[in-house]
Structure 1
């Protein structure tokens, strides 16, 4: 038998022996490891990354009462769900404090079109719709237009998908 063939057989046996020893160990390690989930960087309520303000500091009540939303003022702040919300007036702050679930944007201010499609994304506080007495924010004008093509269906689908999507979001 040539030396080369003998060395190849020897090397093959060594590789097989190593594999026979290592593969079961890898199987044991794999079964003892728990799946690791990455910490979400997306928060339950969309906030400005620099200021920490909800809906870019806009007054959520003004979406319902004014032709265009008003910027909130630092002297009229209210903390709800660990997030700072600003208001144009003390009266708007007090109205929000009495019923925040009515005036806060749906889905924490995440784009409702994205939620209805099964994912979360930020929104632009200037791109909105008040539909059936609820505030919906959108990432883009195109997403708002898509929502408006069939708002009942989009809102219903988003409502169905939100509980599962929101499980993976971090608390502000």
Structure 2
């Protein structure tokens, strides 16, 4: 085999390795949009500016479910656009944003307790101690539900440092 053909084989092998790595990442279920949103103090969709993907944060308390917000009922608060399903929920939020917005900015509290930021999703949530928590994984929500005191202790301690590394 000539040296030129050997170099060509090495290049093809490199392309195959890169393609396999890319395919592995694509198939792993990693949500790159969520990771890209982990530089803000509140989880924000980087394309729309919506907090918690446009879900109504008050509805978790009033309806006990995730309800998509309506663009007619929006408010700009904390560097994000928050949407609500009705004007009453909007008014409740404006009066008490700290009560209704997800704790830890919508980041997964189990990951915060481990010292990392991972964006939670409105589809995986719990209310504990009159506060809303969003989770990035079903396993995280289950672990948190089993021992919220432990995770809240660790997450609260680590959040003080972590939030300083995030943009305002």
The separation in 1 between residues aligned to 2:121 and 2:95, in whole angstroms, is: 25
- After TM superposition, give the deviation of residue 94 of structure 1 in Å: 0.4
- After TM superposition, give the deviation of residue 119 of structure 1 in Å: 0.8
Match status 1:78 vs 2:69: no
Q: Is the 8 A contact 2:38 2:118 kept in 1?
A: no
Query: Which residues in structure 2 correspond to 1:25-36 (within 5 Å)?
Result: none
Q: Is the 8 A contact 1:41 1:170 kept in 2?
A: no
- After TM superposition, give the deviation of residue 149 of structure 1 in Å: 1.7
Match status 1:159 vs 2:156: yes
The separation in 1 between residues aligned to 2:38 and 2:58, in whole angstroms, is: 28
Match status 1:121 vs 2:124: no
Aligned pair partner of 2:85 in 84, 88, 94 = 88
Total equivalences in the alignment: 132
SS of 2:165's equivalent in the other structure is coil
Match of residue 19 from structure 1:
none
The separation in 2 between residues aligned to 1:96 and 1:111, in whole angstroms, is: 21
SS of 1:130's equivalent in the other structure is strand
Structure 2, gaps ≥5 residues long: 1-36
Match of residue 31 from structure 2:
none
User: Rg larger in 1 or in 2?
Assistant: 1
Distance 1:169 1:152, change over 3 A: same
TM-score if structure 1 supplies the norm length? Answer: 0.74
Q: Is the 8 A contact 1:106 1:135 kept in 2?
A: yes
Structure 1, gaps ≥5 residues long: 1-39
TM-score if structure 2 supplies the norm length? Answer: 0.76
Match of residue 34 from structure 2:
none
Match of residue 61 from structure 1:
58
Match status 1:146 vs 2:146: no
The separation in 2 between residues aligned to 1:121 and 1:101, in whole angstroms, is: 20
